Chains A and B, each alone.
Chain A
Amino acid sequence: MQVNRCSVELIDGEVAYEGRPTDSTRGDSATQVGKLRKFRVTTTDTLNQIFGLIEWPDARPEVCCIEMIDGLEKYERLEDAGRLTLMPQANGTWLADVRAMRYNGRSYQTLGSVSEEELEELTGQTPKEFFAAIGCLGFGTREQLVGDDTRKRNQLAVLVKAGDLKAIAGLFVATRVMAVMNDLGE
């Protein structure tokens, strides 16, 4: 799969992954053993980095960096920051907020809101076209997608099929890797 200047290779197989989930909504931050499926991202500026989707037994699924193999130093930020948490829904789908790595006035990038215009620049397509192409079930605000009426109802988000690695990897690469590549927010 190609996401703008990034090539994404979904790696076959699933391995056990022992770690501490980011999601602490259940109040339990103890180590768990989840299931890991990996994908490799290579870019036109020499990045070679492995990320993975971890499905925890008792926490929300998430995407994080597994191994930084080669690339510019700025991508090392993704070793610790930019995790993507997925929110399982009652109908079996997963909801993911569309936020991107950006400078936000700091000297380093953190996750922040991203406009549709910025998404178009990151993906090289309109967001609607891009998210449909990678297999997302829907793109819009949380309110539009799942009827959210909290203060986060205007947050841009996507709905994906549970465990759809292609859609999840595509979202992650556009909003994390491409955002770091383009120095979003600088």
Chain B
Amino acid sequence: MAAANAGPLLETDDEISIAGGIFYFARLFGRELSEVIDAHYAEIAPDWFSRIKQNRIENAEPNYDDPADVRFLLSEAVGARSAVGDAIPKFDLRWRNQADALRRKLNNWFHNSLEPNIDTYLLLIGMIRELAAQSGLPLTQSIVAAEQRAKGIKSKAYVPQGSSPAPATTARPALAPEDADAAKKVVEKVKLIEKRPPIGGEWTGPHGARKIRISRQTRDVTENGISIRNLLGEDPDAVVDAWLRYLPEHQSGEARIADDGAVMAFKRGQAYLIGWLGEEPKPATATNGGLQGFALPYAYIFTGTDVREITSSRLLSKSAPESTKHLIAELSKRMTAEQLFEATEYGELFVTDENGVPDVLATVHKGVWFPGHLPG
């Protein structure tokens, strides 16, 4: 049944293929898991899903309509009192711990908090493959092939087939409409970010015709030699400071203003957004989730008096270029000591609940954050 087991293989690392592939394997994993549970309980509890639903209602827990929803199944497998684990082949403590990690990551993914790139693909696909292989699910073969292909693309060892019609050796399924829709939403978010990047991020829109100069010496902004401080809002000094934070130091303060007020400077030939003239446009509503950006590949712990980056163990107070006193005070109001949180490239510091719903705690700029973590 090679054709039945064949999953989509990436040809390139474009966002739509990556997002579609992740949704495809997540759904397939859920479907195959639900089939083995169905088979296990066929005799003794064919209504297992209804029973769990009822139980969740009684315990005021989030509910699901689909017994093959992977987030539902993983949440049940991780839960101490659920019988779902008993039905999963070779279910053990390792399976359970890995399922918990996968559940958290998939929750982030389904809430569009993870960027659809090759690293995210390999991470999620790899986690699914581990569990599928341990339980001997049919999708293992196709997910291993998908993972190998993605690794080949990442290392540039795989050369795309291009438009030349290569004979198909194995039937590859088209994405289901729900996977295609979900992938489209993730890609829409990518496009929104491209259109309105975070401060310090690459600006890909028109450069704008207005030329200004931001002076470190006079803390003034001039256009044709005339000060435009009166256009900088109620606190022009704060605006100038914010712009200078992102302006390359060795350059003479030249910047451009686009029609929508985006202020940009150039570094190594690339335009970067350094701020906005006048009112900053309202953030575009993030699709299917409350975050404007995607999660950065870092995790942080609030210590109660500081923030520690987990991998490096660096403390924010000793790393950030500017004082972090106000930020720590702000976080203290919202967090408990030793609480984990994440950040997006927009500087949104957030925690997620059990279902992956993000809650933004504060928004920071690069001056009060770990160097190199935020754009600019």
Interface residues, chain A, with chain B CB atoms under 8 Å away: 4-5, 43-46, 72-74, 178, 181-183, 186
B266's partner among A4, A72, A186 (CB-CB below 8 A) is A72
Tell yes or no: B250 within 8 A of A by CB: yes
Complexed CA–CA distance, A5 and B269 (Å): 7
Contacts of B268 in A (CB 8 A): 5, 181-183
One of A46, A74, A178, A181 near B207 (C-beta < 8 A) = A46
A44 and B250 contacting across the interface, CB-CB below 8 Å: no
New contact pairs (13) apart from A74-B251, A74-B252, CB-CB < 8 Å: A4-B269, A5-B269, A5-B270, A44-B270, A44-B271, A45-B270, A46-B207, A72-B254, A73-B252, A178-B269, A181-B269, A182-B268, A182-B269
Which B residues from 199 to 255 make CB contacts under 8 A with A? Answer: 207, 250-252, 254
- Secondary structure class of chain B's binding surface, majority of residues: loop
Report whether B251 and A46 are in contact in the complex, using a CB–CB cutoff of 8 Å. Answer: no
Q: How far is the CA of A143 from the CA of B127 in the complex (A)?
A: 56
A166 to B271, CA, bound (A): 28
Q: In angstroms, how far is the closest chain A Cβ from the Cβ of B266?
A: 4
Chain B residue nearest to A177 (CB atoms) is B269
A5 to chain B, nearest CB (A): 4
Cβ–Cβ < 8 Å partners of A44 in chain B: 269-271
Would you call A45 and B269 a contact (CB within 8 A)?
Answer: yes
Contact assessment for B271 and A72 in the assembled complex, using a CB-CB cutoff below 8 Å = no
Cα–Cα, bound, A44→B207 (Å): 9
**B103 contacts A by Cβ under 8 Å:** no
Size category of the binding interface on chain B: 10 to 19
Is B196 located at the chain interface by the 8 A CB criterion?
no
Of B268, B269, B271, chain A has the most CB atoms within 10 Å of the CB of B269
User: Is B71 an interface residue when CB atoms closer than 8 A count as contact?
Assistant: no
How close is B321's CB to chain A, nearest CB, in angstroms? Answer: 19
Beta-carbon contact of A45 and B252 below 8 Å = no
Expressed in whole angstroms, the Cα–Cα distance for A72 and B271 within the complex equals 12
Q: In the complex, A43→B266 CA distance in Å?
A: 11
A4 — which chain B residues lie within 8 A by C-beta? 269
B129 interface residue (CB < 8 Å to A): no
Distance (whole angstroms) from the CB of A129 to the closest CB of chain B: 16
Q: When A and B form their complex, which 4 residue pairs have the shortest distance between CB atoms, in order from nearest?
A: A45-B266, A5-B269, A181-B269, A44-B269
Alpha-carbon separation in the docked complex, A186 to B274 (Å): 22
List, in ascending order, chain A residues with CB within 8 A of B254's CB.
Answer: 72-73
Considering the complex, give the chain B residue whose CB is closest to the CB of A182. Answer: B268
The answer, yes or no, to whether B365 is at the interface (CB within 8 Å) is no
Q: Given known contacts A44-B271, A45-B271, A46-B256, is B266 in contact with A183 (CB within 8 Å)?
A: no
State A4–B252 Cα separation when bound (angstroms).
Answer: 24
Q: Do A72 and B251 touch across chains, with their CB atoms under 8 A apart?
A: yes
Residues on the A chain within 8 Å of B256, using CB:
46
Q: Tell me which residues across on chain A come within 8 A of B251, comparing CB atoms.
A: 72, 74
Could you say which residues of chain A place their CB within 8 Å of the CB of B252?
72-74
Measured in the bound complex, the distance between the Cα atoms of B251 and A46 in whole Å is 15
Q: Which residues of B contact A72 (CB under 8 A)?
A: 251-252, 254, 266
Minimum Cβ distance to chain B for residue A4 (Å)? 8
Q: Which residue of B lies closest to A5 (CB)?
A: B269
Smallest CB-CB separation from A45: which chain B residue? B266
Report B208 CB to chain A, min CB distance, Å: 10
Question: What CA separation (Å) do A46 and B203 show in the bound complex?
Answer: 13
Bound CA–CA A157/B56 (angstroms): 75
A182 to B250, CA, bound (A): 12
How far is A184 from B132 in the complex, measured between Cα atoms in Å?
A: 51
Q: Are B269 and A186 in contact (CB under 8 A)?
A: no
The smallest beta-carbon distance between B288 and chain A, in angstroms, is: 33
Q: List 5 A-B contacts (CB under 8 A).
A: A72-B252, A72-B254, A74-B252, A182-B269, A183-B250
Inter-chain CA distance A183–B256, complex, in Å, is 20
Q: How far is the CB of A67 from chain B (nearest CB, A)?
A: 19
Which residues of A are found within 8 Å of B270, using beta-carbon distances? Answer: 5, 44-45
- Closest partner residue, chain B, to A178 (CB atom): B269
Q: Tell me, in angstroms, the Cα distance from A111 to B27 when the chains sit together.
A: 59
Q: Report A87 CB to chain B, min CB distance, Å.
A: 30
Q: What are the residues of chain A within 8 A of B207 when measuring CB–CB?
A: 46
* A4, A46, A181: residue with the most chain B Cβ atoms closer than 10 Å: A46
Q: A46 touching B266 by the CB < 8 A rule? A: yes
Residues in B neighbouring A5, C-beta threshold 8 A: 268-270
Contact B250 A186, beta carbon cutoff 8 Å: yes
Kindly supply a per-residue 1/0 record for chain B positions 255-299, scoring 1 wherever the CB is within 8 Å of any chain A CB and 0 otherwise. 010000000001011110000000000000000000000000000
Most B C-beta atoms less than 10 A away, residue of A45, A72, A73, A183: A45
Tell me the nearest residue of chain A to B268, going by C-beta: A182
Give the chain A neighbours of B271 by CB distance below 8 A. Answer: 44-45
Chain B's nearest CB lies how many Å from the CB of A81?
A: 17
Q: Give complex CA distance A181, B268 in Å.
A: 5
Residue of A nearest to B213 (CB): A73
Bitwise, B309-351 to A at CB < 8 A (1) or not (0) is 0000000000000000000000000000000000000000000
- In the assembled complex, the Cα of A138 lies from the Cα of B254 at a distance in Å of 39
List B contacts of A45 (CB < 8 A). Answer: 266, 269-271
